[in-house]
Amino acid sequence: MFTLEQFHRTYDTVTTPVTINGQTFRLFTPASIDRFINPDDVMDNFPLWAKIWEASGVLAGYLAGMPPDPTKTMLEIGCGMGMVGIAAARAGHRITMTERNPDALNFARANALANDCPEIAIERLDWNAPQLDGRFDTIVGSETVYKAEDIDGLEAMFDRYLNPGGIIILAEGVRRTGVDFWDRMRDHFDVQARRQTLRSDQGATHMVLFRLQRRAERQSES
Protein backbone atom coordinates (compact mmCIF):
# COMPACT_ATOMS: atom_id res chain seq x y z
CA MET A 1 0.00 0.00 0.00
CA PHE A 2 1.36 3.40 -1.01
CA THR A 3 1.85 5.87 1.86
CA LEU A 4 3.20 9.40 2.18
CA GLU A 5 5.69 8.17 4.77
CA GLN A 6 7.09 5.70 2.26
CA PHE A 7 7.16 8.39 -0.43
CA HIS A 8 9.15 10.84 1.71
CA ARG A 9 11.65 8.14 2.63
CA THR A 10 12.27 7.58 -1.08
CA TYR A 11 12.33 11.10 -2.51
CA ASP A 12 13.81 14.47 -1.60
CA THR A 13 11.07 16.99 -2.30
CA VAL A 14 9.99 20.59 -1.98
CA THR A 15 6.40 21.78 -1.65
CA THR A 16 5.18 24.03 -4.45
CA PRO A 17 1.91 25.94 -4.03
CA VAL A 18 -0.21 26.22 -7.18
CA THR A 19 -3.44 28.22 -7.41
CA ILE A 20 -6.12 27.08 -9.85
CA ASN A 21 -9.29 29.20 -10.18
CA GLY A 22 -8.75 30.63 -6.71
CA GLN A 23 -8.08 27.26 -5.05
CA THR A 24 -4.54 26.55 -3.82
CA PHE A 25 -3.01 23.10 -4.08
CA ARG A 26 0.30 22.13 -2.51
CA LEU A 27 2.30 19.83 -4.73
CA PHE A 28 5.37 17.78 -3.88
CA THR A 29 7.97 18.34 -6.58
CA PRO A 30 11.53 16.96 -6.84
CA ALA A 31 14.15 18.99 -4.99
CA SER A 32 16.45 18.09 -7.89
CA ILE A 33 15.89 16.22 -11.15
CA ASP A 34 19.47 14.88 -11.25
CA ARG A 35 18.52 11.44 -9.91
CA PHE A 36 15.97 11.02 -12.71
CA ILE A 37 18.37 11.76 -15.58
CA ASN A 38 20.11 8.91 -17.36
CA PRO A 39 23.47 10.38 -18.48
CA ASP A 40 23.68 7.81 -21.27
CA ASP A 41 20.32 8.81 -22.74
CA VAL A 42 19.61 12.40 -21.70
CA MET A 43 17.70 13.55 -24.78
CA ASP A 44 15.30 10.61 -25.14
CA ASN A 45 14.58 10.09 -21.45
CA PHE A 46 14.76 13.56 -19.93
CA PRO A 47 12.23 13.71 -17.04
CA LEU A 48 9.68 16.03 -18.63
CA TRP A 49 7.16 14.88 -16.02
CA ALA A 50 9.18 16.59 -13.24
CA LYS A 51 8.12 20.11 -14.24
CA ILE A 52 4.85 21.93 -13.63
CA TRP A 53 4.14 23.02 -17.19
CA GLU A 54 2.25 26.20 -18.01
CA ALA A 55 -0.08 24.17 -20.22
CA SER A 56 -1.02 22.03 -17.22
CA GLY A 57 -2.21 25.15 -15.43
CA VAL A 58 -4.31 26.13 -18.44
CA LEU A 59 -5.91 22.68 -18.64
CA ALA A 60 -6.43 22.44 -14.88
CA GLY A 61 -8.21 25.79 -14.86
CA TYR A 62 -10.44 24.77 -17.76
CA LEU A 63 -11.45 21.46 -16.18
CA ALA A 64 -11.96 23.04 -12.76
CA GLY A 65 -14.44 25.43 -14.36
CA MET A 66 -16.21 22.75 -16.43
CA PRO A 67 -19.43 21.45 -14.82
CA PRO A 68 -18.92 17.81 -13.76
CA ASP A 69 -21.18 15.02 -14.98
CA PRO A 70 -21.23 12.07 -12.56
CA THR A 71 -22.24 9.73 -15.40
CA LYS A 72 -19.14 10.56 -17.48
CA THR A 73 -15.60 9.22 -17.12
CA MET A 74 -12.38 11.08 -17.87
CA LEU A 75 -8.87 9.82 -18.70
CA GLU A 76 -5.78 11.97 -18.25
CA ILE A 77 -2.76 10.93 -20.29
CA GLY A 78 0.71 12.02 -19.20
CA CYS A 79 -0.45 13.23 -15.78
CA GLY A 80 3.06 14.08 -14.55
CA MET A 81 2.93 14.97 -10.87
CA GLY A 82 -0.85 15.09 -10.85
CA MET A 83 -1.87 18.76 -10.82
CA VAL A 84 -4.49 18.55 -13.58
CA GLY A 85 -6.12 15.37 -12.33
CA ILE A 86 -6.27 16.63 -8.76
CA ALA A 87 -7.90 19.92 -9.81
CA ALA A 88 -10.39 17.99 -11.95
CA ALA A 89 -11.21 15.55 -9.15
CA ARG A 90 -11.71 18.36 -6.65
CA ALA A 91 -14.16 19.90 -9.14
CA GLY A 92 -16.16 16.66 -9.17
CA HIS A 93 -14.93 14.91 -12.33
CA ARG A 94 -14.49 11.11 -12.36
CA ILE A 95 -10.91 11.08 -13.61
CA THR A 96 -8.31 8.36 -14.04
CA MET A 97 -4.75 9.70 -14.09
CA THR A 98 -2.10 7.84 -16.08
CA GLU A 99 1.64 8.03 -16.64
CA ARG A 100 4.36 5.75 -17.96
CA ASN A 101 7.20 6.73 -15.64
CA PRO A 102 7.10 4.98 -12.22
CA ASP A 103 8.61 7.96 -10.38
CA ALA A 104 5.99 10.28 -11.87
CA LEU A 105 3.28 7.88 -10.75
CA ASN A 106 4.64 8.00 -7.19
CA PHE A 107 4.59 11.81 -7.19
CA ALA A 108 1.04 11.80 -8.57
CA ARG A 109 -0.09 9.36 -5.86
CA ALA A 110 1.58 11.40 -3.13
CA ASN A 111 0.07 14.65 -4.36
CA ALA A 112 -3.39 13.09 -4.60
CA LEU A 113 -3.14 11.99 -0.97
CA ALA A 114 -1.73 15.33 0.18
CA ASN A 115 -4.57 17.24 -1.53
CA ASP A 116 -7.41 15.12 -0.14
CA CYS A 117 -8.06 13.10 -3.29
CA PRO A 118 -7.31 9.52 -2.17
CA GLU A 119 -10.08 8.14 -4.40
CA ILE A 120 -8.44 9.08 -7.72
CA ALA A 121 -7.51 6.08 -9.86
CA ILE A 122 -3.84 6.39 -10.85
CA GLU A 123 -2.56 3.84 -13.37
CA ARG A 124 0.49 3.15 -15.50
CA LEU A 125 -0.08 3.66 -19.22
CA ASP A 126 2.52 3.31 -21.95
CA TRP A 127 1.23 4.96 -25.10
CA ASN A 128 3.13 2.53 -27.32
CA ALA A 129 2.01 -0.60 -25.45
CA PRO A 130 -1.27 0.30 -23.72
CA GLN A 131 -2.71 -2.25 -21.30
CA LEU A 132 -5.34 -0.17 -19.51
CA ASP A 133 -8.88 -1.54 -19.75
CA GLY A 134 -12.02 0.37 -20.61
CA ARG A 135 -13.10 3.41 -22.59
CA PHE A 136 -13.69 6.98 -21.48
CA ASP A 137 -16.04 9.81 -22.37
CA THR A 138 -13.32 12.47 -22.21
CA ILE A 139 -9.55 12.24 -22.72
CA VAL A 140 -7.43 15.14 -21.46
CA GLY A 141 -3.73 15.95 -21.49
CA SER A 142 -1.21 18.79 -21.42
CA GLU A 143 2.01 19.02 -23.43
CA THR A 144 1.35 15.57 -24.85
CA VAL A 145 2.41 16.55 -28.37
CA TYR A 146 6.01 17.20 -27.38
CA LYS A 147 7.93 14.60 -29.40
CA ALA A 148 7.20 13.75 -33.03
CA GLU A 149 7.81 10.05 -32.35
CA ASP A 150 4.89 9.97 -29.90
CA ILE A 151 2.24 11.02 -32.43
CA ASP A 152 1.44 7.51 -33.75
CA GLY A 153 1.01 6.13 -30.25
CA LEU A 154 -1.11 9.10 -29.22
CA GLU A 155 -3.49 8.70 -32.14
CA ALA A 156 -3.78 4.96 -31.49
CA MET A 157 -4.68 5.68 -27.87
CA PHE A 158 -7.48 7.99 -28.92
CA ASP A 159 -8.90 5.20 -31.09
CA ARG A 160 -8.59 2.67 -28.29
CA TYR A 161 -9.84 4.64 -25.29
CA LEU A 162 -12.31 7.27 -26.50
CA ASN A 163 -15.99 6.38 -26.30
CA PRO A 164 -18.14 7.05 -29.37
CA GLY A 165 -19.29 10.64 -29.13
CA GLY A 166 -16.50 11.44 -26.67
CA ILE A 167 -14.27 14.50 -26.66
CA ILE A 168 -10.55 15.17 -26.29
CA ILE A 169 -9.26 18.29 -24.53
CA LEU A 170 -5.56 19.10 -24.84
CA ALA A 171 -3.52 22.11 -23.75
CA GLU A 172 -0.31 22.59 -25.72
CA GLY A 173 2.49 25.05 -26.22
CA VAL A 174 3.07 26.39 -29.71
CA ARG A 175 5.69 24.26 -31.46
CA ARG A 176 6.29 22.55 -34.81
CA THR A 177 5.35 19.05 -33.65
CA GLY A 178 1.98 20.42 -32.57
CA VAL A 179 1.29 21.93 -36.00
CA ASP A 180 1.98 18.58 -37.69
CA PHE A 181 -0.18 16.74 -35.18
CA TRP A 182 -3.19 19.02 -35.54
CA ASP A 183 -3.02 18.87 -39.32
CA ARG A 184 -3.22 15.08 -38.99
CA MET A 185 -6.03 15.16 -36.42
CA ARG A 186 -8.21 17.33 -38.67
CA ASP A 187 -8.49 14.37 -41.06
CA HIS A 188 -10.57 12.51 -38.45
CA PHE A 189 -11.77 15.02 -35.85
CA ASP A 190 -13.57 18.32 -35.68
CA VAL A 191 -11.01 20.55 -33.96
CA GLN A 192 -11.70 23.75 -32.04
CA ALA A 193 -8.76 25.83 -30.81
CA ARG A 194 -8.57 28.67 -28.31
CA ARG A 195 -5.35 30.59 -27.94
CA GLN A 196 -4.24 31.87 -24.55
CA THR A 197 -1.27 34.07 -23.63
CA LEU A 198 0.31 33.79 -20.18
CA ARG A 199 2.36 36.79 -19.07
CA SER A 200 5.03 36.84 -16.39
CA ASP A 201 8.28 38.62 -15.54
CA GLN A 202 9.98 36.26 -18.00
CA GLY A 203 7.75 37.38 -20.86
CA ALA A 204 4.77 35.98 -22.74
CA THR A 205 4.06 32.26 -23.19
CA HIS A 206 1.56 31.23 -25.85
CA MET A 207 -0.75 28.27 -25.21
CA VAL A 208 -3.52 26.68 -27.22
CA LEU A 209 -6.44 24.77 -25.72
CA PHE A 210 -7.85 22.24 -28.19
CA ARG A 211 -11.19 20.46 -28.16
CA LEU A 212 -11.55 17.51 -30.52
CA GLN A 213 -14.61 15.45 -31.35
CA ARG A 214 -14.55 12.48 -33.68
CA ARG A 215 -16.52 12.95 -36.87
CA ALA A 216 -19.64 10.82 -37.30
CA GLU A 217 -18.14 8.72 -40.08
CA ARG A 218 -15.13 7.87 -37.93
CA GLN A 219 -17.39 6.94 -35.00
CA SER A 220 -19.29 4.44 -37.13
CA GLU A 221 -16.02 2.62 -37.88
CA SER A 222 -15.09 2.20 -34.18
CA 81 to chain centroid, in Å, comes to 9
Give this prediction's pTM.
0.92
Task: Write down the pLDDT at residue 197.
Answer: 82
Task: Please name the residues in contact with 218: beta carbons below 8 A apart, sequence gap of 6 or more.
Answer: 188, 189
4-221 carries CATH number 3.40.50.1370: no
Point out the residues of the chain with pLDDT beneath 50. 217-222
Task: Write down the pLDDT at residue 14.
Answer: 98
Task: Write down the pLDDT at residue 42.
Answer: 60
SS3 for 120? coil
Task: Write down the pLDDT at residue 183.
Answer: 82
- How many CA atoms within 13 Å lie on the side-chain side of 70? 0
The ranges assigned to domains in the chain are: 4-221
